[in-house]
Amino acid sequence: IAGITQAPTSQILAAGRRMTLRCTQDMRHNAMYWYRQDLGLGLRLIHYSNTAGTTGKGEVPDGYSVSRANTDDFPLTLASAVPSQTSVYFCASSDAAGEADTQYFGPGTRLTVL
C-alpha cells in the first residue's frame, strides 16, 4: 500500500508560470487536504475536500485552486506563481472529515518560485 503519493518531489518555477502539484491516495479516503509549511509558521490549510465532487477554502486559499473529480486524486494548481508561494506543500487524507479522523500525509513537494 503506497498511501499518499505526491509529484513532483521538488520543483523550481519561474514567477508567472502555471503549476499543478499532484496528489493521489490509495486508501479510499473520502477527505483530502492541501497544506503549506513555511518556516516558523507550522502547517496551514490551503484547500480541502470532504468528498469527491466538493471542495472548500482553508486558511490561505488565495492564488491556489483545487479540483476533486474522483476519490483518489486531489491536484493543487497555482495559476500564476509568485515568490511568496515558495514553500513545502503537503497533501493529506482522512477517512472522513470529523474531529476524530486522523489525517495521513504525503511526502511533500518542495516548490521554489523565482
Partner 1 sequence: AQKITQTQPGMFVQEKEAVTLDCTYDTSDQSYGLFWYKQPSSGEMIFLIYQGSYDEQNATEGRYSLNFQKARKSANLVISASQLGDSAMYFCAMNLSNTGKLIFGQGTTLQVKP
Return the residues of window 70-89 that contact partner 1 according to CB under 8 A.
88
Between residues 16 and 107, which has the closer beta carbon with respect to partner 1? 107
98 near partner 1 (CB under 8 A): yes
41 near partner 1 (CB under 8 A): yes
Cα gap 36→41, rounded to integer Å: 9
DSSP assignment string, 88-102? EEEEEEESSSSTTPP
16 near partner 1 (CB under 8 A): no
25 near partner 1 (CB under 8 A): no
Cα gap 106→90, rounded to integer Å: 6
Q: Angle at CA 97, nearest 5°, toward 93 and 102?
A: 55
Q: Is the peptide bond before 8 cis (omega within 30 degrees of 0)?
A: yes
8 near partner 1 (CB under 8 A): no
Would you tell me which residues interact with partner 1 (CB under 8 A)? 31, 33, 35, 40-45, 48, 50, 58-59, 88, 90, 92, 94, 96-105, 107-108
